[in-house]
Amino acid sequence: MEESVEHYVAQWKPHATPAQCFARAEGNPLLEVRLPGHIIHIFERTNPYLLPPGPARLILNPMAESLTPTEVSAPGLQVIGLSRLKAWGRILVRQSHTVVIDAGVPLVVSVLAGVPTSVAVGDTVEFVSLAPIHGFAVPPDRPVATATAADAL
Condensed to tens digits (0 to 9), the pLDDT of residues 69-88 reads 999 889 999 999 999 999 99
Q: Is residue 148 assigned to a domain?
A: no
Q: Is residue 49 assigned to a domain?
A: yes
Give tens-digit pLDDT for 93-108. 999 899 999 999 999 9
- Please count the structural domains in the chain: 1
Q: Is residue 76 assigned to a domain?
A: yes
Q: Is residue 147 assigned to a domain?
A: no
Q: Is residue 144 assigned to a domain?
A: no
Q: Is residue 58 assigned to a domain?
A: yes
Q: Domain limits at 77?
A: 5-138
Q: Is residue 127 assigned to a domain?
A: yes
Of the candidates 74, 84, 82, the one whose C-alpha atom is nearest the C-alpha of residue 127 is 84
Q: Is residue 79 assigned to a domain?
A: yes
pLDDT > 70 in the chain, percent:
91
